[in-house]
Structure 1
Amino acid sequence: LALLYFIVRARTRILVNQRKALEEKVAVRTKEVQQRLNELATVNSVTKALNDKLELDELIQLVGNKMREVFNSDITYLALLDTETNMINFPYQDGDNMPPFKLGEGLTSQIIQSGEPMLINRDADIMAEYDKYGIQQTGKRAVSYLGVPIPVEDDIIGVLSVQSTQQESRFNEEDKKLLNTLAINVGIALHNAELFEEANIAKARAEEANEAKSAFLSTVSHELRTPLTSVLGFAKIIRKRLVDKIFPAVNVDDQKIKKTMKQVSENLDVVVSEGERLTSLINDVLDLAKIESGRMEWNMKPVFLQDVIGRAVSATSSLFDEKKLKLQKNIPENLPLISGDADKLIQVVINLLSNAVKFTDKGTVSIEAYPDNNQVIMEVQDTGIGIAEEDKHKIFERFRQAGDTLTDKPKGTGLGLPICREIIEHHGGIIWMTSEPKVGSTFFFSIPMIGQDGEQPIQLDRILSSLKTQINYSSSKKLGETPTILVVDDDTPIRSLLRQELTDAGYKVKEAANGKAALDAVRLKKPDLIILDVMMPEINGFDVAAVLKNDPATMDIPIIILSIVQDKERGFRIGVDRYLTKPIDTEKLFHEVDELLEQGVSHKRVLVVDEDATTVKSLTDVLTARGYKVMEANHDKLLETASEMKPDIIMLKSLDKLEKKAINELKFQKGLENVMFFVYQ
């Protein structure tokens, strides 16, 4: 019995000890699991925070703060190696202030070079490490040191380190594993941040290069316009005088002379044709530059696409005649309204028709338009050479041309279709194509239609086509005097060209080679109209126009700006009456000259602010008779009406404190910088 007792007691003791050992083991395991969970939570927290940061400086600051928080360290730093200079920098450090040093100095260098973590928990051991590698201590002295490498792919880019200056054995293997895990995530995040920074730098450089390219294209195109204007203008004058005056006076019985006359005439036709083609190419480049810089002017209003197509067909009819191609049209007269810039859409249709003719030697070209699902679709189909499959992706790319440019002579700049795409997409539509080599191509574009309750476009072309063109000069013409036009341009050939054209049209022409001479000429004797360039030495055309339009003695002289500078908004804000661009379109220039001379004075918008209805009526009658457009407003509506109407002149009966404040506010509003104020009693 006693033996049995001792056996049971011994067995029980064994079981108790085993249970204690198991409990201790479970406790250790539980502690390890909890530690792993804590480490995992820390890693997840840091990783999530890192993923939210792409700015390099912010990312480094975040990493350092997290390390200090997690390890409660006295010294914390993030070191990065500059591979170009072999210098180790410390973009984050807390508790110490270490300057950059060369690779090879300090424990940080050993970690980078070995790629292995370093854990030292005794002051003596730390000093031994310095002695072992023959290096000097850097920074504050620590008694516990933990540093791990930051890996990026196969390279070590830096070190994460936490240290204690007060407690030995402060860090353990688990801390090393945790910091090592963090370093791997930090390496990925830093790499992504560097890539992001490089991408931003590359983007900025690309944008800068693109701006420089656009500026270069615009400058070169502008520089080409002035000589081109002279060449094209004089070629047309020579052709006209040969046909009208010289050829009729020549004896055509001599076959050699007859043949020479024909050759001269044909050669001049080529000069004019090639000049106009060069003008078109320059316009394409300028359009691209304006689109890229956001300076393209858009005149959006309700239009009928059938009218747009009709004008484009008329403009390209000579191309079809030259190649003896037939154009088949299927354009309904009742197409729905669209909202668009008529001139830009005409440019698109002309480009599509021109391309169809250019690449079609025989067969037909057809143009069709029809409504489909709240949009209007237009298509141009040809039976030309077609486009190879590998070239289709180039069609709408800038400066790209289909075909082999070494064997197929390029036809154009390769900008026409890309500009068409920009125009159509600005209208909310899309442009696309289908093609088969040696069969032909079809180009389509769609534009959303607008509701039938919208504003109906004025059918100006249809009205004008039913009327005879009558040119009436100003009052001076009616008295038997010839209107005088002052041409202001620093380019001698341009002045000569305009003088000949305008003199032939029956006008008196005075010239000025710069802005100062123009102002002197106007003060000496007022002309009936001024044609003004912008880019001139000393005083530019905008300043000349501003002086004239702000002087009561000259403000009624109509001004036409004719320049390579395309800034209509500024010109109209100053008060000029028409804004045309070079090369000179003689027909359009004469139309504007005749219209302004018939008008007699420069139409300016005048806002009359007065409560007295009789005074307002008297002023309105007088100003309207002089050619001014008059608007009325009460004193309390001055600011609102002026902001909406943007008058050139504001006439006020009195000027109280409120109106002075309103005037100051108006002067800073866009479009009212140059408004003039007249106060009367």
Structure 2
Amino acid sequence: MRSSAIDFQTDTRISAQPILLVYFVCALAAFTAGTIASNMTTKLTLSVFAVYIAAASYGIDHLNSRSPTAAKWAALLLLESMLMLSTVWLGAVPIYAGAFLIPALAAVLIGLRAAAVMAAVQSGLLVAFYMLKGAPESVWLVEGVLSCWAIYGILSAVYKPIGDVVEWAEQVYATASETLEQLRDKRADYEQTVAELKGANAQLNSLNKLAQNLRQIAETERSAKAQFVANVSHELRTPLNMIMGYTEMIIQSPRMYGAALPGALLADLAVVQRNADQLSRLVNDVLDMSQIDSDQMALTRESVDFREVIDFVIAAVTPLFKRKHLYLRHDIHADIHYIFCDRTRIQEVLLNILSNAGRFTEQGGVVVRAVIEGENLIISVTDTGPGIAKPDIDRLFKPFEQLDARIRRDYGGSGLGLAISKKFVEMHDGRIWVESQIAVGTTFFISLPLVQHHPPAADHMRLFSPYLHYERRSGTGRNAEQPAKQKAAVVEAGDVLGRLITRYMSDVEVVPATDLSEFDQQRAALSTDLILVNQKLDALDPAALRQLSRDTGMVVIACSIPDTSERAQLLGVDDILVKPVSRDRLLQTLENRGIRDGGVLIVDDEPDACQLFARMLSADDQNYSVLTANDGAEALHILEAFQPRVILLDLVMPTMSGLEFLAVRAAHPKLQSIPVIVMSANDADFHPLTSRCITITAKDDISVNSFMKCIRAVMQILSATVDANDSKQRGEPTAG
């Protein structure tokens, strides 16, 4: 039997003392029976039997204090002897009738094994007694033996299930105890987790407060950035407009200044004009990027004749080298012709490096070399300057870093040029590095890829269209032809969307059309991949877009980005010109409105700007009479006595700004008839380039799979809370 059952039997055993108490009672009963017996022999026999039982019981009781097990076996032997003596005195009946008592008492005192042993012993004694003494009937022997083993079987049958129940109960108890311990551990873990959660919640509240503070700081920074952009727009464009305007006037109309101007002066002015144009493009990029709220500078890549870039840069820095009597040479490999790059950025990089080389070189000069290595163009600029120590080379490309204070004092500069140049080169997938020796000179190396690289793009970056799967492969040769661009027909009254596509999507060629009728006329000769429509929000017609897609078999993407005319309409003016304004652009704007002569009122708080625009309007036999005003109040005073054909209005002015002037003009019908052209250096006065809707129309029905991809793409672009890997985790429908 299993240990639990054995333990149960051990727990259910009784001691010898209750049995001894029964024996004492039996002895007292025998003694009492002997006392009242009439037969002397019987009286003597019962008295002796009583004394024997009492004496044996007394001895077993003393033995029990020393060895309980021995006392129990002695109690069994005493019972066996009592049965034998009773049989001798009374005949065969006691030993047969009381045979079952021996194994029963053994089971109660010692256990089932002892009961089995005593049943076997009792059976042997019964058989021996039967063979020696005989019996009236053999059935008594059989009944005696059967009674011994029957009582053993009954006790076994009772003990085993009880033992199993006890074992099950112990297992349940052990399991319950283990579960209880686990629950206690889990409760401790839970309490610890609750405490940690409370701490985490407190930290989260602190972080939320910190996030709110940071959000407020970010909002303040955003406002400061917007104000900075407005200031940069006005403070840079206004003087830049003076430089570009006057150089253009002098170069195009030198007769205005009387005697013929020297050719060298005109050549120098051409250099000034080229650099002013370069600066103007950079200012425009800064302002465009701030309007679009991009976090990186965009590139306008195109196939550029590298020799033109080198010629432009060398022409720009030649005066510096001539002034310091330095040589400036260039050695361009004969195989180098076109590279795919942003002309403005690469020119600025080379201008920065060559300007630095010219400023820091006192004797000798600079050599510009360009060679082809594999699929890369390697440009090197080597000077004979003082050289740079190796520990200082790593500091060159850090913003606002200059090797010592003497450099800023002696040579000027802000320490930004090389940092910006490094960024521009890396945006072209290139790299820039330096090698230098003290007292020998320094060489700047620039590595640029010769051909355009097309990194794999997600479907939604291919103009949200799931239908354009063909990828053109670019050539790998040194002078390989650049891959054909995707063509997009851009239908809009102005040019704002076309300019955005050209500037920020270098792999798309724009085919412009002013309206759908013009597009229909050109459609037979066009081979475009999709159609982009830019119209006012209330003019977008879904049915017309759907019909256009069916007629052309192309995807139609419609949006609503306000152009210059719409922004002018919102201001209540006829047109908007953003400074710097060239003479040709000003005259063409007036020509477009049929104003070829007559009075012009220029309203600007900058006297230089008024003088410049007056010179533009009076040059080369122009029949304009010009009046100027320093602010809106002075302009209103002039308008009381003089009615010009057009007003050229600046917006940022003291006393009365241009916007306040327009508000007064809107309240006077007489003034409303005078056209107003705004000329301002501050783009922040106008609405940013944004679209409040976008519509995609396909010729055929869009499958569920494609539709879900488009939805996911738009969500990823427009929502900062959508995980880019969400579609992989959830899965998309596979059938439409």
Using structure 1 for the length normalisation, give the TM-score.
0.42
Question: Which structure would you say has the larger RCO, counting Cα contacts within 8 Å and 6 or more residues apart?
Answer: 2
Q: Which has the higher helix share?
A: 2
Q: Which has the higher strand share?
A: 1
